[in-house]
Amino acid sequence: MSNRDLRVQELLKIHYPDRLNLIDGGQAWRLLMETPRHYQDQVTFTDSSGTLAVNCSIVEEFKNS
């Protein structure tokens, strides 16, 4: 995490302590996968109509963390 990221995180903790929810990549991926209508497959995000698809294969490394 960069120094800038840490500063932003600290500001969020100060100004929005009740709204900040830090989770790791694996947990974030599992939560995202709970809404499968927005996923074409394990590594492709899609819009609700299925017409726009974005490959996000980088998330594979976080799935099991």
In a domain, 32, yes or no: yes
In a domain, 16, yes or no: no
Distance between CA atoms of residues 33 and 41, nearest Å:
10
In a domain, 9, yes or no: no
In a domain, 34, yes or no: yes
In a domain, 12, yes or no: no
In a domain, 7, yes or no: no
Model pLDDT, residue 11? 93
In a domain, 47, yes or no: yes
Against a cut of 0.85, is the pTM above it? no
Domain range for 48: 23-65
Number of domain units in the chain:
1
In a domain, 5, yes or no: no
Task: Please write the tens of the pLDDT for every residue from 18-52.
Answer: 988 888 888 888 887 776 667 788 788 887 787 88
